[in-house]
Amino acid sequence: MENIEKEALKKRIRIGIRIFLLITVLTLFFILFKTGRRETVEALRRFSPLYGILTMLLWAVSLGFDSLQLKIFGMGVEKNIGIINGVNIITMGQFLAATTPFQVSGIFVQVYYLKKHCNIETGQGTSIIFLRAMTGTLVYLLSSPFILIFARDAFRSGIVKNILIYIGIIIGIGGVVLALALINPKKFSRLFARGKKGTGFFNQVVKFRDTLGSILGKKYRLFIIAFFSAFISFIAYFLMAFTILKGLGVEVPIVKVILFQLILRFGLFFSPSPGGSGFAEAGFAGLFYNLIPKYLLGIYTSLWRLFTTYIGATLGGILTLKFLKEI
């Protein structure tokens, strides 16, 4: 990675961190201001340390099985992506997703990390990151009938309906771009580079297509195993909100807790703000508004973001800065 590119990335990260912190702090402050009561402080004091530890363990399980996906997909290109490398890649992605609009910058750094530390070419690395996204998308698709049955209340909001339309448009555009890359790599490559760079870019697009086809074709068992790893990771992630509620002494149906988060997390992938800041806090508070006491809404949202975003992004920030110094 050239010095100019590194400096540009660092600049985007610095700007993104400021925007992320500003939007997050303002949103949380607003929610806490509107919902905070004396009972809020008392509830926080009574928060069970046991459930705090359990939530942290669920965070580790979610991260571990997410990392295992990368190791499994690495086997598809006959490369070893260790669990530690997997943790580094995922948390760096979480940090960069939290500091850049539409959460896209993390992909480039993750692919470059695979190339430098795991000797995986750019096209293959891009395919591995894309396959990880595919397993997540498959979890959402298979969960959609349950969402419509058990969490249909969430779709009564006009905001949610508009967000779904917006997501549909983004997915449609992405699908057209992907189809072009898979069907006609040469034409796709010409859109982004020409000459010698165009040839190199074309070669990597072909490797992306071949790797994708291989793992979804002859090596389909790897994709199935990775999917189950992703499923366990998602369940652990969504259970964190449930254990936080238990720690606060609130009883809410576990199915609704999980399905409401499925809706929110899927929508956050397409959020234009860094890390979904603002959208995540407001969306989470909105979904649980009628499920828990109002005085707990602000502190519950804050604890949820702490475990699901801030811890991983902080670890990823340390690792990202270290990695940028290496290259």
For 273-307, the pLDDT digits (tens) are: 666 666 777 777 777 877 888 888 888 888 888 89
Q: Percent of the chain scored above 90 by pLDDT?
A: 30
- Please tell me the predicted confidence (pLDDT) of residue 199: 75
Mean pLDDT of all residues in 241-265: 87
Show the domain range for 205: 3-326
Mean pLDDT of all residues in 8-35: 72
Of residues 24 and 275, more confidence is placed in: 24
- Please tell me the predicted confidence (pLDDT) of residue 1: 53
Mean pLDDT, all residues of the chain: 82
**What's the 3-state SS for the chain?**
CCHHHHHHHHHHHHHHHHHHHHHHHHHHHHHHHHHCCHHHHHHHHCCCHHHHHHHHHHHHHHHHHHHHHHHHHHHHCCCCCCHHHHHHHHHHHHHHHHHCHHHCHHHHHHHHHHHHHHCCCHHHHHHHHHHHHHHHHHHHHHHHHHHHHHCHHHHHCHHHHHHHHHHHHHHHHHHHHHHHHHHCHHHHHHCCCCHHHHHHHHHHHHHHHHHHHHHHCCCHHHHHHHHHHHHHHHHHHHHHHHHHHHHCCCCCCHHHHHHHHHHHHHHHCCCCCHHHCCHHHHHHHHHCCCCCCHHHHHHHHHHHHHHHHHHHHHHHHHHHHHHHHHC
Number of structural domains (the chain) is 1
- Please tell me the predicted confidence (pLDDT) of residue 6: 61
- Please tell me the predicted confidence (pLDDT) of residue 155: 62
- Please tell me the predicted confidence (pLDDT) of residue 158: 60
**How far is C-alpha 230 from the chain's CA centre?**
12
- Please tell me the predicted confidence (pLDDT) of residue 121: 92
* Range of 43-52, 95-104, 221-230, 281-290 with top mean pLDDT: 221-230
From 99-113, 216-230, 240-254, 302-316, the region with the lowest mean pLDDT = 99-113
Of residues 320 and 277, more confidence is placed in: 320
- Please tell me the predicted confidence (pLDDT) of residue 23: 72
CA dist 179 to 155, 173, 176, 183, 188, Å? 30, 10, 5, 6, 10
Supply the pTM of this predicted model. Answer: 0.82
- Please tell me the predicted confidence (pLDDT) of residue 50: 93
Give CA–CA dist 115/127, Å, rounded: 12
For 257-277, the pLDDT digits (tens) are: 888 888 777 777 666 666 666
For 145-188, the pLDDT digits (tens) are: 777 776 666 666 565 666 667 667 777 877 787 788 778 877 77
